Amino acid sequence: MASVTVAGIDCGTNSIRLKVARVDEHGMEEIVPRTLRVIRLGQDVDQTHRFADEALERAYAAAGEFAEILREHPVDGIRFVATSATRDAENREQFEDAMERILGVRPEVIPGTEEADLSFLGATSVVERDLEAPYVVIDLGGGSTELVLGGDGVTAPKTEVQGAFSMNIGSVRMTERHLHTDPPTDDEIAEAVADIDEHIDEAFRVVPAGKARTIIGVSGTVTTMTALTMGLKEYDHRLVDGVRVPFPDAFAVNDRFLRMPREERREYRTIHPGRIDVVGGGALVWSRVLARIGEAAKADHGVAIDSFVASEHGLLDGIVLDYGRRLLTAR
């Protein structure tokens, strides 16, 4: 059976990830599982519209580590995708030039709509068959949050995107924009909620999220908050992947960590050290998106969605699958 070995790199606002896999017509097989480094590339980009020098240095250091891995695992091709922070940075060419020197591949700054499509591809590539369609996939990043609705399995395939929108809200952006006090004040939280809801209103004008029957959440914020809801003492992706979480449990934990001082968050080994200061902002976005989709679903078909499914598969998986399939088609 024909196959290709490809690497995917996903560089977001808060973290950069690498995955190497063998792709064939049936899917993909990991060769190098996801490698993640928290680099906070989007540090202050919301205010300055430029990458900070120290953020670039963190990104270059991570890229050097990835280059070593790729030297040990030759591939047929690499696709390097950059998202929200890079879309906003005026000095992104400096970043792109340096990354190309280090890794031999130039980052592609993709639009939010393509990011949404790839996240949906990755999330639905391993979805359980008993989940009710249509699925809405939410990819909550540091700088943006993608909302993607798929087909119902009757008039359109379950894995076919029916609507997608990228909102400029995320864990880093909301923290830097609104949550300045540690812990945040009620006024700061209220300002953030108003901002988040305004973006959700805009998204709902494009994506009929109320048609969804199943919510699938991807990204570090979602999986971290899921692990905390589960009471895990250490993060374990095998336990988190595919778990269903009731809304009341998620809301309670999200609110608790939003209002928790950062030093207290540091006591939880479940949270990656690079997320300590922004995980509360991400939790707030996550709660609002869940609540609003639940309300929209009840208004649309009379049945409220009251839980979500957490997934370890999202944008990075979509990058690898999509790129591998295109290489196979070109052969």
The arithmetic mean of pLDDT across residues 296-319, rounded, is: 93
User: What residue spans define the domains of the chain?
Assistant: 4-112, 127-312
- Pairwise pLDDT comparison (161 vs 125), residue with the higher score: 161
Give residue-wise pLDDT tens across range 197-230. 999 999 999 999 999 999 999 999 999 999 999 9
Fold adopted by 4-112 = Nucleotidyltransferase; domain 5 (3.30.420)
Say if 4-112 and 127-312 have the same CATH topology. yes
Write down the pLDDT at residue 307.
Answer: 97
Average pLDDT score over the chain? 95
Residue 86 banded pLDDT, cuts 50, 70, 90:
confident
Cα separation, 261 vs 115, in Å, equals 33
Instruction: Mention every residue, 6+ apart, whose C-beta is less than 8 A from residue 143.
Output: 12, 13, 14, 42, 45, 46, 83, 84, 85, 88, 168, 170, 172, 173
* Least trusted range by pLDDT, from 23-37, 118-132, 286-300: 118-132
222: left (phi over 0), alpha (psi -120 to 50) or beta: alpha
Alpha-carbon distances, residue 35 vs 29, 168, 197, 271, 305 (angstroms): 15, 25, 33, 16, 33
pLDDT at 331: 82
Nearby residues of 272 by Cβ (< 8 Å), 6 or more positions away: 36, 38, 220, 224, 235
Q: Give me the pLDDT at residue 112, please.
A: 85
Q: Say if CB 19 and CB 33 are below 8 A apart.
A: yes
pLDDT of residue 243: 96
Average pLDDT over residues 183-189: 98
Check residue 129 and give its pLDDT: 66
Tell whether domain 127-312 is in CATH 3.30.420.150: yes
Measured from the Cβ of residue 132, the count of other Cβ atoms closer than 10 Å reads: 12
Per-residue model confidence (pLDDT) at position 87: 86
As a whole number of angstroms, the distance between CA 193 and CA 45 comes to: 21
> How many residues appear in the chain?
331
- Residue written as token pair 């589960």: 230
Question: Is residue 107 classed as helix, strand or coil in its secondary structure?
Answer: coil
Could you report the per-residue pLDDT of 124-136, keeping only the tens digit for each?
988 766 899 999 9
